[in-house]
Amino acid sequence: MVLRPQYTSGLTTGCWPIDPTVEFQSGMIGGLIELGGDIFISVSDGCNVAPLGIIDDVKTEAFSKPSIDERVFVKATGVPDGYGNLISTVDTMGFLNNTNILPNTFVSSMDVLLNPRNGVVQIPAGSVLNVLDPTDPNKTGFEVFLSYTFQIPDLPGEDTTVGSGKVSVHIFRGIFATDQFDPVVEYPLMAPLYCGRDGRVTTEPNGPIIAIVVAPPSVLMNEINFMWL
Protein backbone atom coordinates (compact mmCIF):
# COMPACT_ATOMS: atom_id res chain seq x y z
CA MET A 1 0.00 0.00 0.00
CA VAL A 2 2.88 2.36 0.83
CA LEU A 3 6.13 3.09 -0.99
CA ARG A 4 8.33 5.97 0.14
CA PRO A 5 11.62 6.61 -1.67
CA GLN A 6 14.10 7.75 1.01
CA TYR A 7 17.05 8.29 -1.29
CA THR A 8 17.38 7.66 -5.01
CA SER A 9 20.02 8.23 -7.65
CA GLY A 10 17.87 10.87 -9.32
CA LEU A 11 17.38 8.76 -12.42
CA THR A 12 13.86 8.44 -13.78
CA THR A 13 11.71 5.39 -13.16
CA GLY A 14 10.86 2.94 -15.90
CA CYS A 15 7.36 2.92 -17.36
CA TRP A 16 5.80 -0.11 -19.06
CA PRO A 17 2.37 -1.35 -20.11
CA ILE A 18 0.72 -3.35 -17.34
CA ASP A 19 -0.24 -7.02 -17.42
CA PRO A 20 -4.06 -6.77 -17.45
CA THR A 21 -4.48 -9.94 -15.36
CA VAL A 22 -2.66 -8.86 -12.16
CA GLU A 23 -3.36 -6.77 -9.07
CA PHE A 24 -0.65 -5.02 -7.07
CA GLN A 25 0.08 -2.34 -4.48
CA SER A 26 2.85 0.24 -4.29
CA GLY A 27 6.01 -1.36 -2.90
CA MET A 28 5.53 -4.75 -4.52
CA ILE A 29 8.14 -6.10 -6.92
CA GLY A 30 7.54 -6.12 -10.67
CA GLY A 31 9.08 -8.09 -13.51
CA LEU A 32 8.82 -8.22 -17.28
CA ILE A 33 6.76 -10.79 -19.17
CA GLU A 34 5.87 -11.33 -22.82
CA LEU A 35 2.26 -11.57 -23.91
CA GLY A 36 1.38 -11.92 -27.57
CA GLY A 37 4.75 -10.59 -28.65
CA ASP A 38 4.52 -7.47 -26.45
CA ILE A 39 6.35 -6.71 -23.21
CA PHE A 40 4.41 -5.98 -20.01
CA ILE A 41 5.10 -5.49 -16.31
CA SER A 42 3.64 -8.17 -14.06
CA VAL A 43 4.09 -9.03 -10.39
CA SER A 44 7.37 -10.87 -9.87
CA ASP A 45 7.44 -14.25 -8.13
CA GLY A 46 11.21 -14.08 -7.67
CA CYS A 47 12.01 -16.84 -10.16
CA ASN A 48 9.75 -17.41 -13.18
CA VAL A 49 9.07 -13.68 -13.48
CA ALA A 50 12.45 -12.24 -12.58
CA PRO A 51 12.45 -9.14 -10.34
CA LEU A 52 13.13 -5.91 -12.21
CA GLY A 53 12.14 -3.09 -9.86
CA ILE A 54 9.74 -1.67 -7.28
CA ILE A 55 6.21 -0.85 -8.43
CA ASP A 56 5.08 2.72 -7.69
CA ASP A 57 1.44 2.42 -8.76
CA VAL A 58 -1.70 0.72 -7.46
CA LYS A 59 -4.15 -1.66 -9.06
CA THR A 60 -6.16 -3.55 -6.45
CA GLU A 61 -9.68 -4.14 -5.22
CA ALA A 62 -8.59 -4.14 -1.55
CA PHE A 63 -5.61 -2.71 0.33
CA SER A 64 -3.59 -4.69 2.85
CA LYS A 65 -0.90 -3.97 5.42
CA PRO A 66 1.06 -5.93 8.04
CA SER A 67 0.93 -6.06 11.82
CA ILE A 68 4.19 -7.13 13.48
CA ASP A 69 4.64 -8.73 16.94
CA GLU A 70 1.16 -7.76 18.11
CA ARG A 71 0.70 -8.70 21.77
CA VAL A 72 -2.51 -10.41 22.84
CA PHE A 73 -3.15 -11.27 26.48
CA VAL A 74 -5.82 -13.86 27.27
CA LYS A 75 -6.95 -14.27 30.87
CA ALA A 76 -7.16 -17.90 31.94
CA THR A 77 -7.16 -20.18 34.96
CA GLY A 78 -5.23 -23.40 35.15
CA VAL A 79 -4.68 -26.60 37.05
CA PRO A 80 -1.34 -28.29 37.86
CA ASP A 81 -0.14 -30.79 35.28
CA GLY A 82 2.26 -32.61 37.61
CA TYR A 83 5.34 -31.09 35.94
CA GLY A 84 5.33 -27.70 37.62
CA ASN A 85 3.07 -26.05 35.04
CA LEU A 86 -0.49 -24.80 35.03
CA ILE A 87 -2.62 -25.86 32.06
CA SER A 88 -5.99 -24.57 30.94
CA THR A 89 -9.03 -26.82 31.18
CA VAL A 90 -11.21 -25.04 28.61
CA ASP A 91 -10.66 -23.31 25.28
CA THR A 92 -10.00 -19.57 25.65
CA MET A 93 -10.28 -16.78 23.09
CA GLY A 94 -8.27 -13.65 22.34
CA PHE A 95 -8.98 -10.79 19.97
CA LEU A 96 -6.57 -9.25 17.47
CA ASN A 97 -6.45 -5.54 16.72
CA ASN A 98 -7.63 -6.24 13.17
CA THR A 99 -10.02 -8.43 11.20
CA ASN A 100 -9.87 -9.93 7.68
CA ILE A 101 -6.54 -11.64 8.30
CA LEU A 102 -4.79 -13.27 5.34
CA PRO A 103 -4.29 -16.80 6.76
CA ASN A 104 -1.13 -17.64 4.81
CA THR A 105 0.64 -14.64 6.42
CA PHE A 106 -0.25 -15.52 10.02
CA VAL A 107 2.38 -16.63 12.55
CA SER A 108 2.02 -17.00 16.32
CA SER A 109 4.41 -17.49 19.25
CA MET A 110 2.25 -20.40 20.48
CA ASP A 111 -0.24 -22.84 19.01
CA VAL A 112 -3.59 -21.15 18.39
CA LEU A 113 -6.56 -21.55 16.07
CA LEU A 114 -7.32 -18.49 13.93
CA ASN A 115 -10.68 -17.18 12.78
CA PRO A 116 -9.33 -14.90 10.03
CA ARG A 117 -12.56 -13.11 9.21
CA ASN A 118 -13.24 -11.91 12.76
CA GLY A 119 -9.64 -11.61 13.97
CA VAL A 120 -10.14 -14.09 16.83
CA VAL A 121 -7.63 -16.65 18.10
CA GLN A 122 -8.59 -19.69 20.17
CA ILE A 123 -6.09 -21.24 22.57
CA PRO A 124 -6.97 -24.94 23.00
CA ALA A 125 -7.61 -26.50 26.38
CA GLY A 126 -4.49 -28.17 27.74
CA SER A 127 -2.18 -25.29 26.79
CA VAL A 128 0.45 -24.24 29.34
CA LEU A 129 -0.16 -20.82 30.92
CA ASN A 130 2.89 -18.62 30.30
CA VAL A 131 1.96 -15.62 32.48
CA LEU A 132 1.54 -16.29 36.21
CA ASP A 133 0.77 -13.69 38.87
CA PRO A 134 -0.26 -15.28 42.20
CA THR A 135 -1.31 -11.87 43.55
CA ASP A 136 -3.68 -10.99 40.70
CA PRO A 137 -5.76 -13.62 38.82
CA ASN A 138 -6.57 -10.99 36.18
CA LYS A 139 -2.91 -11.02 35.14
CA THR A 140 -2.66 -14.80 34.83
CA GLY A 141 -3.14 -16.47 31.46
CA PHE A 142 -1.55 -16.50 28.02
CA GLU A 143 0.68 -13.91 26.37
CA VAL A 144 0.78 -14.42 22.62
CA PHE A 145 2.76 -12.49 20.01
CA LEU A 146 1.40 -12.56 16.46
CA SER A 147 2.37 -11.22 13.05
CA TYR A 148 0.12 -11.15 10.00
CA THR A 149 -1.18 -9.16 7.05
CA PHE A 150 -4.77 -7.94 7.00
CA GLN A 151 -7.10 -6.31 4.51
CA ILE A 152 -7.98 -2.76 5.51
CA PRO A 153 -11.76 -2.52 6.05
CA ASP A 154 -13.86 0.27 4.55
CA LEU A 155 -11.06 1.34 2.21
CA PRO A 156 -11.96 0.57 -1.41
CA GLY A 157 -9.32 -0.38 -3.92
CA GLU A 158 -7.78 1.92 -6.47
CA ASP A 159 -6.33 1.80 -9.97
CA THR A 160 -3.77 4.50 -10.78
CA THR A 161 -3.07 2.92 -14.18
CA VAL A 162 -6.49 3.85 -15.58
CA GLY A 163 -6.11 5.95 -18.69
CA SER A 164 -2.43 5.28 -19.32
CA GLY A 165 -2.48 1.50 -18.94
CA LYS A 166 1.13 1.82 -17.74
CA VAL A 167 2.94 1.35 -14.43
CA SER A 168 5.95 3.18 -12.96
CA VAL A 169 8.78 1.01 -11.64
CA HIS A 170 11.90 2.08 -9.72
CA ILE A 171 14.75 0.18 -11.34
CA PHE A 172 17.81 2.09 -10.08
CA ARG A 173 19.64 1.87 -6.75
CA GLY A 174 18.06 3.71 -3.86
CA ILE A 175 16.71 3.43 -0.32
CA PHE A 176 12.98 2.81 0.00
CA ALA A 177 10.39 2.20 2.73
CA THR A 178 7.33 0.01 2.23
CA ASP A 179 4.72 -1.98 4.14
CA GLN A 180 4.63 -4.65 1.44
CA PHE A 181 6.77 -7.36 3.06
CA ASP A 182 6.39 -10.91 4.33
CA PRO A 183 5.35 -10.67 8.02
CA VAL A 184 6.20 -14.29 8.81
CA VAL A 185 10.02 -14.02 8.65
CA GLU A 186 12.63 -12.04 10.63
CA TYR A 187 14.48 -9.04 9.18
CA PRO A 188 17.95 -8.64 10.75
CA LEU A 189 19.82 -5.44 9.96
CA MET A 190 21.79 -5.74 6.69
CA ALA A 191 20.15 -9.08 5.84
CA PRO A 192 19.73 -9.82 2.11
CA LEU A 193 16.24 -9.50 0.69
CA TYR A 194 14.53 -11.53 -2.03
CA CYS A 195 11.27 -11.26 -3.91
CA GLY A 196 8.72 -13.63 -2.41
CA ARG A 197 6.31 -15.67 -4.48
CA ASP A 198 3.61 -13.07 -3.81
CA GLY A 199 5.73 -10.16 -5.05
CA ARG A 200 6.64 -8.82 -1.58
CA VAL A 201 10.14 -8.55 -0.15
CA THR A 202 11.26 -11.32 2.20
CA THR A 203 14.42 -12.72 3.80
CA GLU A 204 13.45 -16.24 2.70
CA PRO A 205 15.81 -17.16 -0.17
CA ASN A 206 13.96 -17.15 -3.48
CA GLY A 207 15.75 -16.24 -6.68
CA PRO A 208 18.41 -13.48 -6.74
CA ILE A 209 19.18 -11.05 -3.92
CA ILE A 210 17.44 -7.76 -4.75
CA ALA A 211 18.00 -5.54 -1.69
CA ILE A 212 19.49 -5.20 1.82
CA VAL A 213 17.65 -4.38 5.05
CA VAL A 214 18.66 -0.96 6.42
CA ALA A 215 15.85 -0.61 9.01
CA PRO A 216 13.77 -3.65 10.09
CA PRO A 217 10.01 -3.42 10.67
CA SER A 218 8.86 -3.13 14.27
CA VAL A 219 5.76 -2.95 16.46
CA LEU A 220 5.77 0.86 16.23
CA MET A 221 6.74 1.10 12.55
CA ASN A 222 5.16 -1.58 10.36
CA GLU A 223 7.41 -0.71 7.43
CA ILE A 224 10.73 -2.02 6.21
CA ASN A 225 13.52 0.21 4.91
CA PHE A 226 15.83 -1.35 2.36
CA MET A 227 18.49 -0.48 -0.18
CA TRP A 228 17.52 -1.68 -3.65
CA LEU A 229 20.49 -3.18 -5.46
Interval 148-178: pLDDT, tens = 999 998 888 899 999 899 999 999 999 999 9
Quote the domain boundaries for residue 142: 64-154
* Same-domain pairing of 138 and 165: no
User: In sequence order, what DSSP letters do the residues of 120-155 get, joined into one string?
Assistant: EEEE-TTPBP-B--TT-GGG-EEEEEEEEEEEEEEE
Q: Tell me what pLDDT residue 155 has.
A: 84
* Same-domain pairing of 53 and 107: no
* Same-domain pairing of 139 and 212: no
* Same-domain pairing of 78 and 132: yes
Q: Tell me what pLDDT residue 17 has.
A: 94
User: What's CA 149's distance to the chain center, in Å?
Assistant: 5
* Same-domain pairing of 187 and 208: yes
Tell me which of 88, 119, 154 is where a domain ends.
154
Q: What is the Cα gyration radius of the chain?
A: 21
* Same-domain pairing of 130 and 69: yes
Alpha carbons 111 and 128: distance in angstroms, whole number: 10
- How many CA atoms, within 13 angstroms, populate the side-chain half-sphere of residue 117? 0
Tell me which of 154, 180, 208 is where a domain ends.
154
Q: Are strands 192-195 and 211-215 parallel, antiparallel or unpaired?
A: antiparallel
Give the model's confidence band at 54: pLDDT under 50 very low, under 70 low, under 90 confident, else very high: very high
Q: Tell me what pLDDT residue 11 has.
A: 64
* Same-domain pairing of 54 and 68: no
* Same-domain pairing of 81 and 115: yes
Whether the pLDDT of residue 13 is over 80: the answer is no
Per residue in 178-224, pLDDT (tens digit) is 999 999 999 999 999 999 999 999 999 999 999 999 999 988 888 99
Whether the pLDDT of residue 137 is over 90: the answer is no
Helix segments in 10-73, DSSP class H: none
Tell me which of 132, 154, 176 is where a domain ends.
154
Alpha carbons 207 and 41: distance in angstroms, whole number: 18
Number of folded domains in the chain? 2
CB neighbours of residue 43 within 10 Å: 24
This prediction's pTM: 0.84
Per residue in 56-111, pLDDT (tens digit) is 999 999 899 999 999 999 999 899 988 888 999 999 999 999 999 999 999 999 99
* Counts for the chain of helices (H) and strands (E), in that order: 0, 19
